[in-house]
Structure 1
Amino acid sequence: MKAMRFSHNHMSGGQVAPEIGNLKELQFLSLTLDSFVNISGMFWNLKGCTNLTALLVSYNFHGEALPDAGWVGDHIKNVRVFVMENSALTGTIPAWLSKLQDLSILNLSGNRLTGPIPSWLGGMSKLYCMDLSGNLLSGEIPPSLMEMRLLTSEQAMAEFNPGHLPLVFTVKPDNRTDQQGRGYYQMLGIPTTLNFSDNAITGTIPPEVGKLKMLQVLDVSCNNISGGIPTELSNLTRLQILDLNGNRLSGTIPPVLNELHFLAVFNVAYNNLEGPIPTGGQFDAFPPRSFKGNPKLCGQVISVPCGNKVEGRDDTPSKLVGKKVLIAIVLGVSLGLVALIVFLGCVVITVRKVMCNGAVLDGGKLVEAPQFDSTSELYNGSSKDTTFFMSEVADGVAKTVTFVDVLNATNNFSPSNIIGSGGYGLVFLAELQDGTRLAVKKLNGDMCLVEREFQAEVEALSTTRHENLVPLLGFCIRGRLRLLIYPYMANGSLHDWLHERRAGDAGSGAAPLLLDWRARLNIARGASRGGLCIHEQCKPQIVHRDIKSSNILLDEAGEARVADFGLARLILPDRTHVTTELVGTPGYIPPEYGQAWAATLRGDVYSFGVVLLELLTGRRPVETLPPPQGQQRELVHWVLQMRSQGRHADVLDPRLRDKGDEAQMLNVLDLACLCVDSTPLSRPAIQDVVSWLDNVDAIGRSDL
């Protein structure tokens, strides 16, 4: 066997089998979207795959640390294409990658990698496409990257023959692929790329960048880069995309850049640039949004004569509402051929980048709030009162905070402020100066919507209010960045109390919660009412897609509130597909999701049934058995097996037994097993679940 594509199978926490190492002739391996765990074990088991040249393992090993042991590089030393994106991996960029001397394409985007960009990447002689976007990388762009052999030498690129893999690459589904979610490109169809966007990179753009004359795509947007735009960029005559937006760049736009005749995308929005915008060449075709957020720029393209004083010009997004549109970019290639670039996720270039749009709720309606003018103000800690988020409504009055307030409250979105993570992104604790605590969710960058669609969905979700839902309070759009703001739930999640905290552990100053059966039943009732609201009272109905104990939060009174409802609509509107990012959480995923690509209301009921089983048993939805078994066991299968043996009472949490509540608990157990029925139509609707739980007291006292 030379190729194996084992994707979209949702293995619910399974591991890559050791037997894979027996496939000596394997060249192409895709283990994408399978919910695998134990990343070190996977690398170890690949030791025997000495001919492996393409390894795609994205959307797996969520939240694990990328191993730094040198033997990893020895096991996959012949890999040419390495894609491990959107897995929330932690750690740094490992040095063992330097052992992959044939590596041509590297994609580590959409993770949580920290530290600097390693200088040794510049010495990898066959590397020509590198995507490190959407991480937490810091430091400056290493000067050694300006010496990359295939990006600096026309002769080296002409002599370079990457060889075609035995089959085409299957690219992750997104809205830029065909209806089947596939795009097919051979290695030579992927442009030369450096993508470091959406990180925390500082310093300047080195003038030596002019050496990279073979480079086609350069994206350093949404960082903290300062200084000027080097004139040496004009040497990159093959450049098709240059994205510098959302930094702290100053000075003028070099007029000589109009000599870049193949430049199809140019974006310097939201910097601190000044002076005239160049004319001629491709610059006559770039839209005004490529330059907005720079109040000191002038030129015909933005209708600001350079003879006029422009410092006071109001070019904020609040004045531009309704004018923002999504650009569909078609890259030109030689001889006038047009190709839509979808390179293994290697380049996620989006020109739908807009300013941070604040919003406040006024009578349940999102309205525009004042905005800041430039990104430089943001990082300089401007004291200008520029409204960004609405934090709460007290006595009918919207309380607002500035963007700088949010930055300070999260320590610049420091990793130390992370209080949660999931398939949608990271959650940060924000503590304002007045003591108000907020939860700020940073959505994964590759799931972005264009601003107009995103804002419309936020407006719809903001009107969904119920005492058992976590309300959406505000939002932000900046480049690919999408932030949502919620009230902070002092008592954490149900998952914490069932599986993490010790009895009576308050945590974070919250009052202790004693999860006896009465408390658990009250939580189940509250969560079911929250589900009823989104399933029945919202128009259109909302399919949650990821109901689980960690998405049921407890407020200061211990009341349950369902979180993360409607996020799928913010990310993929008007679609009900169970997509790559939104497949749910292992242990909670209904069995039919592995057979049909549709999320349903009855699928939510299945997931809620798993939560009921957690409350009843005190067990996790997926458990790893102790040695000698060492296998993983799903809670649903275990409970159903025990019931089939007539051992109903044996599944109940031992801490809750012999306290007079067994009759109620067994009644709720019957309900839970109906919810997790393998046939969707056999499951109760959410209103029936609510009714059952509300009446369980009477049933428990008299009927059982």
Structure 2
Amino acid sequence: MWDDSLIKWLIFMFMISGDALYQLKLSLGAPANQLIDWNPSHVDPCTWSNVICDNNDQVTSVTLSGMNCSGTLSSKIGILNTLTTLTLKGNGITGEIPKEFGNLSSLSSLDLGNNRLSGEIPSSLGDLKRLQFLTLSQNNLTGAIPESLSRLQNLINILLDSNHLSGHIPEHLFQIPKYNFTGNRLNCGANFPQPCESDNSDSGASNKPKIGIIVGIVGGTIILLLFVGLLFFVCKGRHKGYKHDMFEDVAGEVDQRIAFGQLKRFAYRELQLATDNFNEKNILGQGGFGKVYKGVLQDNTKVAVKRLTDFESPGGDAAFQREVEMISVAVHRNLLRLIGFCTTPSERLLVYPFMPNLSVAYRLRERKPEEPVLDWARRKRVALGAARGLEYLHEHCNPKIIHRDVKAANVLLDEDFEAVVGDFGLAKLVDVRKTNVTTQVRGTMGHIAPEYLSTGKSSERTDVFGYGIMLLELVTGQRAIDFSRLEEEDDVLLLDHVKKLEREKRLDDIVDCNLNEHYNIQEVEMMIQVALLCTQASPEDRPAMSEVVRMLEGEGLAERWEEWQHVEDTRRQEYERLQRRFEWGDDSSYNQLAIELSGGR
């Protein structure tokens, strides 16, 4: 029971802040080359670029200046009540400032200057008791300055210049050491008792002569550079007879066809042509490691090209190549075969066969109405095929390969609907460029084993946990985490949802309604039992994938399940006994409950 609570706590600890930041990225419309590592599959937001956390892994600072964002502000950011600094200046952000910004109770600095924000300044900003620096300059804000800002006793700098504000300025704001209200229609300036700008302000009109000089110098330099560049390209064009090609090899690319057995090194332009220059319409999916594009090679072979997004700097070709070779050796009918790869100073691409039936997740939840439901017989084959693929990675590869993101979206289906495990080894591929020991926790919330989430250490048993959740996806057709279940006062986590129904012997309520009762309830029960054995909180208690294969084939499940139920019943009864004593007011049981819940000593 306590183990379940631990899993929930670990998941929600990162989920809340990570989801808020990811929603901010989406709403801002960050360019494709920005905030690449802001991805829900990179679980810990403290490892994301431009994010700073404290020693308790609480997000304290987010700085996204000058990133050419052109979207809006997300109200979800108001969840981050540990945030002390939020800087989004110098973008093209539109829309209003959400009133939820007033929930950022720890905020000391807010800079939204030089954007295109509109609407009124929300009065909720007056709730930011710790705010010291407020910059909303050079926007399109309208209306009056809220009286609530007078309550900000710690404010030492407020810049609201160059907007369309009008009306009365709260008297208290003139007592702030540094303020600037110029460029508005406010009651300050020559015709009013108070100036629109504090004496020690170094911004606004006093800087205009300096700005003019700087602009003149920069403008002249740019014109000169453009002229020199134009002259260079004209000469180059004459020399080459004006021959241009839309798809060119990337500078620094090793343009030779090196083969490692069946593995081929592709030229970058080959993959550009195959995917129509990585056209968005050819995207098959997107995950923690990058986007996958459908492509057609010159010999009409259909392929899937995965464009890895986690490479920040040139180099590391040799290490990447070694890891690619290692993965290419892992050949099994239930593993996605690697056809080839491509490296440039800034790109890493992997080429796989195209899987015509896409992924298990697609067939369970995203299929088109005219496409057939994944029937129970095929779901059983998927379960066994994926188990055999993982067994091969764990027990027959040397060194063993740990997947680290086992889920329905990463189990693909070939033309015969056979399960093919994809994306194995990619976590290692991406991390091979790192020289330090620590790596990001990689995976998808709801599929990540608790020990991996809390320590960052993965093993084959973390894959077993993810596989168990994937089995529950197969049975239920549902996502590992679904907030819509809250509306029915049910568990957000699929694992908890299934455990509850299994204890109540409501197996039919667990099964995917799309199967229309076309399933074998005994086989459903068996698959649920295997899934619950795989998702035990302690990694030592989980079966190895070879055991999972045997249990799915009908060998040894009954004995293992009976043993697990006995342990679970004993643990549940002891927890309930201690909980009752605590609720009855037996003070001596308080420390005992804490000791019991903290685990073995």
The bucket for the TM-score relative to the shorter chain is 0.5 to 0.7
Structure 2 CA distance for aligned equivalents of residues 533 and 661 of structure 1: 28
Q: How does 1:629-648 map to 2 (within 5 A)?
A: 633-648=492-507
Map residues 521-536 of structure 1 onto 2, 5 A cutoff: 521-536=380-395
Q: TM-score, normalised by structure 1?
A: 0.49
Q: Is the 8 A contact 1:15 1:42 kept in 2?
A: no
C-alpha contact (below 8 Å) 2:334/2:420 kept by paired residues: yes
Contact 2:334–2:389 (8 Å) recurs in 1? yes
Equivalent of 1:538 in 383, 391, 397: 397
- Asked if 1:593 is matched to 2:452, the reply is yes
Q: Is 548-557 or 568-577 further displaced after alignment?
A: 568-577
How far the C-alpha of 1:446 sits from its partner, in A, is 3.7
1:363 and 2:363 equivalent?
A: no
Which residue of 2 is the match for residue 489 of structure 1?
A: 355
Query: Whole-Å Cα distance in 1 between the matches of residues 391 and 435 of structure 2?
Result: 21
Q: Which residue of 2 aligns with 1:686?
A: 545
The CA distance in 2 between the partners of 1:50 and 1:564, in whole Å, is 35
In structure 2, how many angstroms separate the alpha carbons of the residues matched to 1:103 and 1:599?
47
Distance 1:683 1:548 in 2: 17
Query: Is the CA contact (8 Å cut-off) linking 2:387 and 2:545 kept in structure 1?
Result: yes
Rounded to whole Å, the distance in 2 between the matches of 1:442 and 1:229 is: 32
**Maintained 8 Å contact 2:530/2:557:** no
Matched, 1:474 2:340: yes
1:469-511 deviations in Å (ceiling 9; x for gaps): 1111111111221111111111100000111115651xxxxxx
State the distance in 2 between where 1:12 and 1:579 align. Answer: 21
Amino acid at match of 1:363: G
Amino acid at match of 1:415: E
Select which of 474, 486, 491 maps to 1:615.
474
Q: Contact 2:60–2:82 at 8 Å: present in 1 too? A: no
* Contact 2:73-2:93 within 8 A present in 1 as well: no
- Give, in whole Å, the separation in 2 of the partners of 1:629 and 1:67: 40
**Residue of structure 2 aligned with 1:54, choices 86, 90, 109:** 86
Deviations 1:530-557 (A, max 9, x none): 1011111111111101111010000111
After TM superposition, give the deviation of residue 54 of structure 1 in Å. Answer: 2.7
Q: CA RMSD in A?
A: 5.0
The letter of the residue matching 1:29 is: T
Return closer, same or farther for 1:571/1:207 CA change in 2, 3 Å cut-off. same
Whether contact under 8 Å (2:413, 2:420) holds in the other structure is: yes
- The one-character-per-residue Cα deviations of 1:39-70 (angstroms, maximum 9, x if unpaired) are 989536639989964359xxxxxxxxx99651
- Provide the secondary structure at the position in 2 that maps to 1:489: coil
Q: Show the 5 A alignment for 1:22-171.
A: 29-30=60-61, 42-43=74-75, 46=78, 53-54=85-86, 70-72=95-97, 79-80=110-111, 95-96=116-117
Q: CA deviation at 1:435?
A: 3.1
Take 1:578 and 1:74, find their aligned partners in 2: how far apart are those partners? 38
CA offset at residue 603 of structure 1?
Answer: 0.5
The counterpart of 2:319, out of the listed 453, 458, 461, is 453
TM-aligned CA distance change 1:594 to 1:698, over 3 Å = closer
Q: Is the 8 A contact 2:490 2:497 kept in 1?
A: no
In 1, the alpha carbon distance for the partners of 2:555 and 2:409 equals 25
8 Å contact 2:11–2:446 — kept in the other structure? Answer: no
Q: Which amino acid aligns with 1:70?
A: G
Q: Which residue of 1 aligns with 2:15?
A: 11
Q: Distance in 1 between matches of 2:76 and 2:331?
A: 49
**Cα offset for 1:646?**
3.3
User: Which structure 2 segments of 5+ residues have no match?
Assistant: 1-9, 22-57, 64-70, 103-108, 122-133, 139-159, 163-200, 204-216, 240-248, 563-601
Write the distance in 2 (CA, Å) between the matches of 1:226 and 1:561: 53
**Is 2:298 the partner of 1:436?**
no
Distance, in Å, in 1 between the alignment partners of 2:503 and 2:117 is 50
Residues 672, 635 of structure 1: alpha-carbon distance in 2 compared, 3 angstrom cutoff: same
Shift of 1:617: 1.5
Matched, 1:661 2:520: yes
| Distance in 2 separating the partners of 1:453 and 1:226 | 40
The whole-number CA distance in structure 2 between the counterparts of 1:698 and 1:46 is 48
Q: Which residue of 2 aligns with 1:424?
A: 289
Are 1:498 and 2:364 matched, yes or no? yes
Q: Pick from 260, 273, 282 the counterpart of residue 408 of structure 1.
A: 273
Give the letter aligned to residue 292 of structure 2.
Answer: V
Q: Alignment partner of 1:435: what SS? A: coil
Give a deviation string over 1:252-285, Cα, whole Å, max 9, x none: 9xxxxxxxxxxxxxxxxxxx8999xxxxxxxxxx
In 1, Cα distance between the equivalents of 2:498 and 2:556?
A: 23
Task: Tell me by how many angstroms 1:698 deviates.
Answer: 11
| Aligned mates of 2:357, 2:226 — CA distance in 1 | 41
SS at match of 2:343: strand
- Work out the CA distance in 2 between the residues paired with 1:8 and 1:577: 26
Secondary structure in structure 2 of the residue aligned to 1:10: helix
SS of the residue 2:482 aligns to: strand
Corresponding residue SS for 1:54: strand
Matching residue of 2:411: 552
Q: Closer, same or farther in 2 for the Cα pair 1:680/1:445, shift >3 Å? A: closer
- Equivalent residue for 1:374? none
Q: Secondary structure, in 3 states, of the residue corresponding to 1:429?
A: strand
Unaligned runs of 5+ in 1: 1-5, 18-26, 33-38, 57-65, 83-92, 105-123, 127-158, 162-205, 213-224, 232-248, 253-271, 276-315, 318-352, 368-387, 390-401, 506-512
Q: What is the total number of aligned residue pairs between the two structures?
A: 404
Distance 2:302 2:271 in 1: 11
Distance 1:69 1:530 in 2: 48
User: Quick one: distance in 2 between partners of 1:595 and 1:543?
Assistant: 18
**TM-score normalised per structure 2:** 0.56
Change in CA separation of 1:569 and 1:638 when aligned onto 2, cut-off 3 Å = same
Deviation (angstroms), 1:408: 2.2
User: What is the CA deviation profile of residues 99-118 of structure 1, one whole-angstrom value per residue up to 9, with x for unaligned ones?
Assistant: 995799xxxxxxxxxxxxxx
1:602 aligns with 2:461: yes
8 Å CA contact 1:576, 1:598 repeated in 2 = no
Shift of 1:72: 3.7
RCO higher in 1 or 2 (8 Å CA, sep ≥ 6)? 2
Distance 1:53 1:12, change over 3 A: closer
**3-state SS, counterpart of residue 427 of structure 1:** strand
Q: 1:484 to 1:544 in 2, by over 3 A?
A: same
Measured against aligned partners, the alpha-carbon deviations of 1:360-401 in whole angstroms (never above 9, x if no partner) come to: 54534x57xxxxxxxxxxxxxxxxxxxx52xxxxxxxxxxxx
Letter of the aligned partner of 1:683 in structure 2? R
Alpha-carbon offset, residue 76 of structure 1:
6.3
Name the aligned partner's letter for residue 429 of structure 1: K
Q: What do residues 407-457 of structure 1 show as CA deviations (whole Å, max 9, x unaligned)?
A: 222121122221111111111111235432111111114456611111111
CA distance in 1, matches of 2:228, 2:400: 50
Residue 640 and residue 572 in structure 1: after superposition, are their counterparts in 2 closer, same or farther (change >3 A)? Answer: same
SS in 2 for 1:633: coil
